[in-house]
Amino acid sequence: MNSENNGITSIAGLLFDAADSWPQKPAITFLGKTQTWLETKNRCHAAATLLVRAGVRRGDRVAYLGLNSNVCFESYFAPALIAAILVPINYRLSVREMIECVEDCAPSVLLVDEHFIEQAGQLRDACKSLQTIISFGGPRCPNGMVSYEDELYEVISEEKYCELRPSKNDESVVMFYTGGTTGRSKGVVLSNINCACNTTCSIPLYRMEKHWNFLIVGPLFHLAAGSRVFSSTALGGHAVILPKFDVGQLLEAIDDYSINSATLVPTMYQMILDYPKLGKFNLSSLKMLASGAAPLSLALLGRIVEAFPEIEFFQTYGMTEASPILTSLDSKYHVLKGPNSNKLGSVGRAVKHVDLIIADENDEALPPETTGQILARGPNIMKEYWQMPELTEEALKGGWYHTGDAGYLDDEGFLFLEGRVKDMIVSGGENVYPIEIENVLENHPAIYQCAVIGIPHETWGEAVHAVVILKERTNVTQGELITFCKNQIAGYKCPVSVSFRKEPMPLSPINKILKTELRKPFWEGRSSSIV
């Protein structure tokens, strides 16, 4: 295991190196407007000054709620310049869930774009820690909020910058909330070293080059997209940012800006390949594509390889807690014929700074071709779950991160995933934990017992399905239950279908519902493995 970071000790250092080395090179393009690396550095310094004026101090959290934007890119750096911690909030959450996250991390400042002003107001009313809301993107700043662009203009024009004291090494730099198996979201805290490890690993891994044009289209409240902010900066690249995923806009951006690289989730690839006007766009600039965050079926992989035969294609396996990459399947194995094609069902080998084993229930390493839980360790593994010491200790027991995923290694060290130890559902690149939906459904007056499982879905990979037993002399429809959920949790977590069961749930010897038995009718005749 190699833990070297090529001298990188802080995320702030990446930004200042880019501005010093390539001041006039394009850094970011958003909504047709381009800013250079020098401009980006100055804007980040000014944003840090704005945070200091708002009372943010070392170790404080700064929340961000909004679509992808140049400001979101800048927010990956601005808090770090004063040793504060960025907390991107998933804008797809319900307001109740957003409140839970904000109350947990207790930021004093929230940056919000024009699309979520109403939610920001509700957060301010509900969360005592929020003292300042900084807004951007709209034609005018709402009452009671601070204008991001107006304040930045003042700081930059008058050169009234604050003194910078960036976080370094193992100090925390960013926190991502990920769904909780206990029903409560977990704040995954990552350090400068965690992010630097992933950055210095991914550049040679994907064979990226200086000044590439990167397309950032995945939501930046996920690290899968967020990690590209750091690698683009390290290379003095040009990040073309889309507010959110739209097939036509994505293809147009590739054509217009000669995009060299994009990292997408399987659902996006399927929509691109199914897009009727795909052939009208010039995609010849593309050099590298990567897939992550969700399972990639062999059928879809075959379509991708056939559609983009000249482009290097990579698959990665990981999670937020690993910053996020653990393994990668190189492009040379993405072939449909020949000796390398037998690795297509794999997610590749562990990257160079990661030790990875397959373990039994006692955390003892298992031999090749034996299925067990995937354990990993390395300088990329998270610092902690925010304010969850017991859960942190359990996850990092014995110095290994316990992924909760099941798999096996072949004789050459290639990892094959066999499913999930936990019952997490991956739908369209989003992690969905059944207990969150079950907790909501069990509050419905008509429900006696329920279980939530993942079932096959052609577009999303997996879809959320609820199996329900009703109380005697009650009645409720599938649509009513789905609407009941949508009023309380994010739409992507809600069931898309419900089955009503008359017989008792299948139970284990310790009276746990056997979800494997509930899944069988839906997965019969097809593999439910993650490939």
DSSP 173-184: EEEEEE--TTSS
Phi/psi at 324 (5° precision):
-115, 0
Same structural domain for residues 159 and 62?
A: yes
In this predicted structure, what is the pLDDT of residue 4?
47
Same structural domain for residues 130 and 50?
A: yes
Cβ atoms of residues 101 and 89 within 8 Å: yes
Domain that holds residue 384: 354-420
Phi/psi at 511 (5° precision):
65, 25
In this predicted structure, what is the pLDDT of residue 436?
80
Same structural domain for residues 45 and 182?
A: yes
Measuring CA to CA, how many Å separate 250 from each of 215, 241, 390?
A: 8, 10, 43
Same structural domain for residues 183 and 42?
A: yes
Can you read off the two tokens belonging to residue 120? Answer: 């920001």
In this predicted structure, what is the pLDDT of residue 6?
60
Identify each DSSP E strand in 330-471 by its residue range: 349-350, 355-359, 372-377, 384-385, 401-409, 415-420, 425-427, 430-432, 447-457, 461-470
Give the pTM: 0.85
Same structural domain for residues 22 and 93?
A: yes
In this predicted structure, what is the pLDDT of residue 421?
63
Same structural domain for residues 86 and 150?
A: yes
Same structural domain for residues 149 and 65?
A: yes
In this predicted structure, what is the pLDDT of residue 422?
64
Q: What confidence tens digit (pLDDT) does each residue in 335-382 have?
A: 888 889 889 889 999 999 999 999 998 999 999 999 889 999 999 999
289 assigned to some structural domain: no
Same structural domain for residues 361 and 393?
A: yes
528 assigned to some structural domain: no
Phi/psi at 405 (5° precision):
-100, 150
Same structural domain for residues 94 and 179?
A: yes
Same structural domain for residues 92 and 130?
A: yes
- CA-wise closest residue to 262 among 247, 274, 277, 276: 247
Q: Virtual CA dihedral for 188, 192, 194, 199, nearest 10 degrees?
A: 120
Same structural domain for residues 184 and 60?
A: yes
In this predicted structure, what is the pLDDT of residue 184?
73
Same structural domain for residues 56 and 84?
A: yes
In this predicted structure, what is the pLDDT of residue 3?
41
225 assigned to some structural domain: no
Cβ atoms of residues 161 and 45 within 8 Å: yes
At 405, which CATH number? 2.30.38.10
396 assigned to some structural domain: yes
270 assigned to some structural domain: no
- CA-wise closest residue to 213 among 261, 266, 247: 261
State which H helix or E strand residue 128 sits in: none
369 assigned to some structural domain: yes
**Boundary of a domain, candidates 171, 190, 209:** 190
206 assigned to some structural domain: no
In this predicted structure, what is the pLDDT of residue 2?
40
Total domains in the chain come to: 3
Tell me the residue length of the chain. Answer: 531
In this predicted structure, what is the pLDDT of residue 385?
97
In this predicted structure, what is the pLDDT of residue 530?
34
At 38, which CATH number? 3.40.50.12780
**Boundary of a domain, candidates 169, 190, 211:** 190
Can you read off the two tokens belonging to residue 395? Answer: 């996850």
| Number of CB atoms found within 10 A of residue 311's CB | 19
**Boundary of a domain, candidates 386, 420, 454:** 420
**Segments of the chain scoring below 70 in pLDDT:** 1-8, 179-183, 294-295, 419-422, 508-512, 525-531
493 assigned to some structural domain: yes
In sequence order, what are the beta bridge partners of 377? 355
